[in-house]
């Protein structure tokens, strides 16, 4: 039982060491800041533009149907 405990404690210390080293490296060398991207805004504008064109086509076809009557 003592051998099993020593093996488990060895792996626990190994994992703790890896976590501490990773945390300290991440603290010393932080990840570069990602510049703000307006991709979401551009997609929203495209979406509304597509909706506007779809509505215009629907109005045009409705107008043609009304003229045909």
pLDDT in tens, 6-24: 999 999 999 999 999 999 9
Residues 20 and 1 in one domain: yes
pTM equals 0.44
Q: What is the pLDDT of residue 66?
A: 66
Whether 25 and 42 map to the same domain: the answer is no
Q: Cα–Cα distances in Å, from 18 out to 13, 15, 23, 28, 29?
A: 9, 5, 9, 15, 16
Question: Do 41 and 60 belong together in one domain?
Answer: yes
Question: Can you give the residue range of the structural domain that contains 6?
Answer: 1-31
């Amino acid at each position: 039982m003592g051998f099993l405990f020593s093996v488990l404690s060895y792996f626990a210390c190994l994992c703790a060491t890896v976590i501490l080293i990773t945390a300290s490296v991440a603290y010393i060398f932080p990840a570069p800041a990602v510049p703000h991207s307006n991709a979401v805004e551009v997609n929203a504008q495209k979406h509304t533009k597509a909706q506007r064109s779809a509505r215009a086509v629907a109005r045009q076809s409705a107008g043609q149907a009304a003229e045909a009557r």
